[in-house]
Amino acid sequence: MEQLTPTWQEAILKLAPQSEALGELHPDVLEIAYQEEWFKLYVPVAYGGPGKKLPEILRIEEDLAYVDGSTAWTVTLCSGAGWFAGFLDDELAKDIFADRKVCFAGSGAVGGTAQKIVNGYRINGHWKYASGALHATIFTANCVLQDESGEPILDESGNQVIKSFILKRDEVAIQSGWSYFGLVATGSHAFDVNNVEVPANRSFKINEPKVADEGFDYPFLQLAETTLAVNSLGMARRFLDLVNDSFFSRSGFKRYTPEQVAFFEDELAKCKHTLTTIREHFYEAFDISWDQLINYKIIDENILKDVSRLSRELAHQSRRVVDTLYPYAGLEAAKRETELNRVWRDLHTASQHALLTF
């Protein structure tokens, strides 16, 4: 827990049940995020951000997930959308990031259309799962491009052209629909856009950096996979610490034989070893990919495949070790009000992200 002070940890942990009850991060948790610029992690110094790089960001997100899954997931998804700062029109970016409470939310899905008009585009569409939507100031949306007559615009290969767009809070309508049993405080609601006209500078393409800052040419797929995977890792680490206390405080603990207690301790040790090992392999592969990008401006394709494989394996192993140990925690693990149960719910909800399914 090198990244976070005990004060932050204690405050976020204490407020986690209240955040769940609100269905969004508690205002005091948001204030910590604003102070520490967690929603601006990737934003370049040129735009007033901390300009942190992915190796440090991954460790921050893992440590946040150890404290509270909803906080970490919201920071991960919102700051991840803020990564688009590197691809925005310069004047637009300076205007957006002047806001102390700027927070990006959005969806990776192609959920709408952008029809060309005289001064820009007319946006329509529906997008799901925009984590942090209730306190977001900016929304990102992927759209299929259309010409002035509404016909799809095709590229040289005959495929529909897709672009990403920046939308302001008052240009979207949030549709309450995050009714899932975990990551409750992320407020990952859907949003609609109806005939909103935006200027041409509100569109952007990822991996076409417009700032002279390293890291914005790291592949978006692996950036997304790694940041999601470390969330599962942090939650799993927390569960493994909590389950030990829960096992030894079970009401029926006195009935266990020394052999049964030893069996549990052996299972816990094996799960911790599994998680530690995959964590080491994951960071080793990622760090190699980052070093290649910074030093040689290109990443070996096999290294990128390793990063993707190990991100997915890390997420799956995180869930497996938690499920292996879950029965030993007793009914406290099934009691909604306990931290153990919240961590379990958050991890299993995070595990459903389509990017890490296979």
pLDDT tens digits for range 294-330: 999 999 999 999 999 999 999 999 999 999 999 999 9
| Residue where one domain finishes, among candidates 87, 122, 149 | 87
List pLDDT tens digits, range 93-105: 999 999 999 999 9
328 and 305 within one domain: yes
In a domain, 314, yes or no: yes
Largest CA distance in the chain: 78
Mean pLDDT of 43-67: 96
264 and 341 within one domain: yes
| Residue where one domain finishes, among candidates 161, 178, 204 | 204
In this structure, are residues 318 and 230 in contact, taking their beta carbons and an 8 Å threshold?
no
In this structure, are residues 108 and 66 in contact, taking their beta carbons and an 8 Å threshold?
no
234 and 328 within one domain: yes
350 and 258 within one domain: yes
Going along 161-207, which residue ranges are E strands? 162-168, 173-175, 189-199, 203-204
CATH of the domain at 49: 1.10.540.10
Question: Please, which pLDDT band fits residue 12 given cuts at 50, 70 and 90?
Answer: very high
348 and 227 within one domain: yes
In this structure, are residues 41 and 57 in contact, taking their beta carbons and an 8 Å threshold?
yes
List pLDDT tens digits, range 181-234: 999 999 999 999 999 999 999 999 887 788 878 899 999 999 999 999 999 999
64 and 174 within one domain: no
71 and 124 within one domain: no
In a domain, 95, yes or no: no
Distances (CA, A) of 244 to 6, 60, 290: 22, 25, 36
In a domain, 47, yes or no: yes
Read off the pTM: 0.95
Give pLDDT, residue 3: 57
Q: What is the sign, positive or negative, of the torsion defined by CA atoms of 80, 315, 276, 295?
A: negative
- Dihedral over alpha carbons 349, 355, 357, 358 (to 10 degrees): -160
**Residue 292: pLDDT above 90?**
yes
In a domain, 52, yes or no: yes
**Would you tell me how many other CB atoms lie within 10 Å of the CB of residue 148?**
10
Provide the number of structural domains found in the chain: 3
297 and 181 within one domain: no
List pLDDT tens digits, range 134-147: 999 999 999 999 99
In this structure, are residues 269 and 325 in contact, taking their beta carbons and an 8 Å threshold?
no
> Alpha-carbon distance 39 to 231, whole Å?
16
Please give the structure tokens belonging to residue 316: 């799956």
> Alpha-carbon distance 38 to 52, whole Å?
10
Give pLDDT, residue 1: 45
Phi, psi of 173 (to 5 degrees): -115, 115
The residue segments making up the domain with residue 191 are: 102-204
| Residue where one domain finishes, among candidates 87, 117, 142 | 87
Q: In a 3-state reduction of DSSP, which class is residue 248?
A: helix
What does DSSP assign to residue 194? E
In a domain, 282, yes or no: yes
Tell me what percent of the chain is helix, strand and coil, each rounded to the nearest 5: 55, 15, 25
List pLDDT tens digits, range 146-192: 999 999 999 999 999 999 999 999 999 999 889 999 999 999 999 99
169 and 136 within one domain: yes
Q: What is the DSSP string of 302-328?
A: HHHHHHHHHHHHHHHHHHHHHHHHGGG
